[in-house]
Structure 1
């Protein structure tokens, strides 16, 4: 009989928490795996999948970061709610741009990107048995954050704003317990749906009537086209009584890797988020916060110019796809085109398989709409992070890929029919 320790005990088993096992599978895994392998093999893949800004921040912001990093006093732990001057600058922007008055001491908190803040806010507000309403198709973190808080999700289609409002009311009337939280995301990712201020006015009325809280994800506040100005939830009367809004400097300011976001609104909800953050982090590197102040205070013109750059890219991609016969509606805001797959191909294969074909045969990576839930089936999300020439090249590669695929499809032998009996 062996005296090996391996024989003395049963096999060790790692027991993953239920909140993790409840998470849905990562549907972009196949795309990302093939993209990685093709690039390792030397293929020049045009990546329209991830919304990762490719342009740098304004030079004055980079210079301020370098200067602040030389100050020995900026290298210790920072307040996890953000330094007061940054919170004041955020409040100043909200008043200047949206007319919303915020107390920087109690109604503004700095986050490590809006994604971190959103996730921890769900943890602060939600628990087992609670339900959140999220827009469909959905940005994955809107669902995953609720699931990680051990709460439940109801997704409602977002394409028609009036119908979305009616469905919120219907859900609140017929669900018990009533939903605790409503997630909003305008300009919407992935579909690029936009709203006007009246929509948020109606949301506030519904929140008061049915007693749910509101989380507005305003990630694309600074990227808009053709004169459209995305409204802020907090600009609606009474909004601060029922909810908060998350914004980020990742998009319009080209500071994605800096991880600067902020949450503004209801003081009690802000305090709850601060409590959670107090247990999880020690705040953002202070030199980054100082540079973010410069960005908010001095680079409005650069942010407007960045929107014009994205608008040119939008035009290049939408016009190119339209010439191929795709039914494209140019977005009014955001950094994505939400493109319906041509009917011929939608009838032949799933959205995921279509996206894999574009990557494998055309060297163009996209985000299949099914990765954003069932409501995304039949669509592709295509980002505007590449320059106009690369986007035009992507259209040419898509054209050639589909032409070759159609030729191969047409030459396949027809299925043999059974003989009549």
Structure 2
């Protein structure tokens, strides 16, 4: 090779590298501080190395994340290139034109592999506006060693009356052992995620067919009374500060005999690297009261691209990578198969490695597939959504009611006063919004 040719080649290669570097971008990703997302953040360096792009991570507590991304998307300020949003926001924001459609990630993405109910919930007018990162329903986790020692057998389908009995028997404050742990932190996606399912199975509903609030009805009073009693007598101190992450820590460190919460917790409490009780955990369905309708929730955490981003192609590249079949395998091989994101792809549940590592897999899949957002309550309702009401106003309404329920739990007001305040405020909000004529 001549010197001239060598110089020319070096020049071309150098220009190519410079051009590649010029196209590299930094995207800002907003996500929740849950375990699955922490793993995504850790493993994202692989995508950065493969593409040359960089990620600026904004990792926030659940309530703060919702507030930040809602403000950003509604004002069009464009701080984020990818947002982690729930199954509640995705269709509402997609319909409003606030999100970019993400049904163009390529044939190799295999959209048919996504679980049908989840994909349907993220679709508006035939367009997919977010892709699921992980999906969950809810179930009851319990300490089989404590149950055996107390001579109690957990049924396949417990009732709330039984849960109260078990919580009383298994509470031993002298040992720091709480009979039950439940969400108490206020927020429509915090305490109301759990409490909403409790209201459903007690026969309650948010609104009747004329959109009139039902918050001071007998089912709400009974559910609230039992919830306050359960956590007040048999739960941990300071329960009003406990959301999903706090309760997961309490359960994983042996402080809870029972915990009713997201099925996504299973991968962590069964993981001996993250849980001191990994070999002592068992699970069963969410409890029921007067009806099974709406007794376990349906939720997905999803990745979406706001319409305001100017880095759409790079955002799509990461979105595709983080929700692909290959990502599931990467998590399994690097973090352990018990840690893979649940409830998104059919192929995950066909992996023999996952089946072997996750004894809860079939139960979780059944819970996710059986939760029916179109029929969440015993009596007919004008809305869809199990633990939320799929209207834009619910975010504010649900948070206000969550604050009232938390105040009752803290002993600051009676159950009756709590629900009357909630009924009055929500009636005012729904009238102002035009739902009540």
Q: What TM-score range do you get, normalising by the shorter chain?
A: under 0.3
The TM-score, its normalising length taken from structure 1, stands at 0.26
Tell me the TM-score normalised to structure 2 length. Answer: 0.25
